[in-house]
Amino acid sequence: MRLARLRPLPHNPGMTGPDESWRPYLDPEEVILWQGRPQPGWSWRAGENGTILLGVFIIGFLLFVVIESLAAGQSGPIGGLIVFAIIGLVIGAFGPIAMAVVRQGTWYTLTDRRALIAHWPTIAGVTLYRGVDCYPITEVTLVPADLRGMQTVQVARLSDRYTFHDGWRYAGGRGRGNAQGRHRDPPVGFERVTDGPHVAELCRQVQQTRRGKRPDNLTPTR
């Protein structure tokens, strides 16, 4: 089965009616409870700021070199410095721009059996990649998002991840490894939503109702 085309959802659609383009990913009797999208916007607390700091460091270092060269009466290779300055600007802007594209192409759906997250980022009408993941709800935590007034509803761990490719397949593994050989299992969920308390309560109801039972169309073993 190919990935079904998801129609863009307005932010906070108010559930005037569920988007049935999600239906190929669900069990026959599965009910959509809520749908939304992450709020776009840039924040100093967002993870992509590492590239900004790296870009600032590169440009700052180049300014230091230029000042030292001028103080010593040397003009230096200005053309090369300009090239490196442009590289610093590109590196600095890459993180925020990339995450903005990803968020613009992200959709959320909560059903009475699972949480689904679809990524469909596009640039100038060109789709970069398509992917739909789902997570049986194993935990529910409401935390502040990196944007003022927004919340993030954490519903599972990365190791609970299933991805859709001709049907649902388990893709969680042991989480992400680090340089020390340890494995992290970070929480995942609905990021940057405006109605976090309401969504969190719906997730708790699903967790209590399902009691660890997985949706029918998920592979039973890992």
Domain range list for the chain: 28-41+107-210, 49-99
d(CA 169, CA 175): 16
Average pLDDT over residues 140-152: 90
CA distance 178 to 190: 24
C-alpha 186/C-alpha 48 separation (Å) is 17
pLDDT tier at 106 (50, 70, 90 boundaries)?
A: very high
| pLDDT at position 116 over 80 | yes
What's the one-letter identity of residue 82?
I
Pinpoint the alpha helices (H) of the chain. 49-71, 78-104, 196-210
pLDDT of residue 134: 96
CATH of 28-41+107-210, one of 2.30.29, 2.60.120, 2.60.40, 1.20.1630: 2.30.29
Q: pLDDT confidence of 196, banded at 50, 70, 90?
A: very high
- Rounded Cα gap, residues 30 and 216, in angstroms: 10
Confidence of residue 124 (pLDDT cuts 50, 70, 90): confident
Work out whether the CA dihedral 155, 159, 122, 178 comes out positive or negative: positive
Note the pLDDT of residue 115.
97
Whether 139 has a pLDDT exceeding 50, the answer reads: yes
Query: In the predicted model, what is the mean pLDDT of residues 100-124?
Result: 87
Range 206-213 contact pairs with CB under 8 angstroms and sequence separation of 24 or more = 206/33, 206/110, 206/111, 206/112, 206/113, 206/114, 206/137, 207/137, 207/138, 207/139, 207/140, 209/112, 210/113, 210/136, 210/137, 212/136, 212/138
Position 33 pLDDT exceeds 70: yes
Kindly state the helix (H) or strand (E) to which residue 206 belongs, with its residue range: helix 196-210
3-class secondary structure, 132: strand
How is residue 53 written in tokens? 């700091």
Give percent of the chain above pLDDT 70.
65
- State residue 140's pLDDT score: 97
Q: Are the C-beta atoms of 137 and 207 separated by less than 8 Å? A: yes
Rg of the chain (C-alpha set): 22
Whole-number Å distance between alpha carbons of 204 and 210: 10
Distance from the first to the final alpha carbon of the chain: 21
211 vs 99, which has greater pLDDT?
211
